Amino acid sequence: MFSIDDLYVKFVLSKRGSWDSFRTQYPRIFRSLYLNYRLYKGSRYLQYHRIYSRFSDFTMIRRQGYVSNLTLCDQFRHLPGAVVECGTWKGGMIAGIATLFKDDRDYYLFDSFKGLPVAQDIDKDGRGQSAKTWQANSNHNCRAEESFAQRAMLLSGVRNVHIIKGWFNKTLPKYSGQPIAILRADGDWYESTMDILTNLYPYVVKGGLIILDDYYYWEGCAKAVHDFLSTNQLRDKIYQFKNLYAGLIKDWP
């Protein structure tokens, strides 16, 4: 028996292209279906907020940004493949995604659990302030114990969890090679972002989502994205979502 989630994936997300012609040919039926779709989206939105409340102690992302992350990821839930997060801190964001998607895929959490690596001259915020200065004055440097991520993923209820501890330039080249549906790139700095894209982009499925968490905040992250696309002569466009996040949709026209 299909659940409403199964029906939504089977008849809406996987068949977006055919709905335009259906709307033209059968306007009354389409309006009825659209009303039910809006009700479904409303219930989904409430679910996003419940998930945030569950994991708010495990994330630095505020409610609006967290809900926006879930909303964005939910649009790609029909794609097969793993969910991979690079820069996971206490695991609250990927645990929320896992709660939403359930136990039908693998979840990979990459983090040093020692904080951020040393920033370079290229790493500045949007006002041109050096990330080196920020890092020197930080009392935590985005550091969290691995046990927090373990607890968050346990709370999500999914089983196929892989927590990989270490610096990206050491761990990402050893990725298992499983296709990736959603990749959250939260590396902050130029080198970290480049490590993520260089090592994991080839595994992202066609139409897969790459969330560029720091694109609008750290200039090094933005430059790494541009340099990666240019060096590899890729035509992927950078999309903006609700003025909060940027992302790539792989091989999307």
The string of DSSP letters for 122-157 reads T-BBTT--BHHHHHHH-SSTT---HHHHHHHHHHHT
Mean pLDDT of the chain: 89
Mean pLDDT of 85-106: 96
**DSSP 8-state code for residue 60:** S
The per-residue pLDDT for 245 is: 85
Mean pLDDT of 224-239: 95
The per-residue pLDDT for 132 is: 95
pLDDT value at 2 more than 60: no
Residue spans of beta strands (DSSP E) within 4-102? 82-86
Mean pLDDT of 144-149: 98
Mean pLDDT of 146-158: 98
pLDDT value at 6 more than 90: no
Enclosing H/E stretch for 239: strand 238-241
Q: How far apart are CA 44 and CA 49, in angstroms?
A: 9
The per-residue pLDDT for 68 is: 92
pLDDT digits (tens, 9 = 90+) for 159-171: 999 999 999 999 9
pLDDT digits (tens, 9 = 90+) for 17-62: 566 677 777 777 767 666 666 666 667 889 999 999 999 999 999 9
Q: pLDDT band for position 4 (50/70/90)?
A: very low
Q: What percent of the chain has pLDDT over 90?
A: 75
pLDDT digits (tens, 9 = 90+) for 178-189: 999 999 999 999
Burial of 43 (0-12, 13-18, 19+ CB in 10 A): exposed
pLDDT value at 253 more than 80: no
Cα 1 to its chain centre, rounded Å, is: 30
Provide CB contacts within 8 A for 142, sequence distance 6+: 60, 87, 89, 115, 116, 188
| Domains recognised in the chain with CATH numbers | 19-249 (3.40.50.150)
Q: How far apart are CA 100 and CA 47, in angstroms?
A: 8
How many residues comprise the chain? 253
Q: Give this prediction's pTM.
A: 0.84
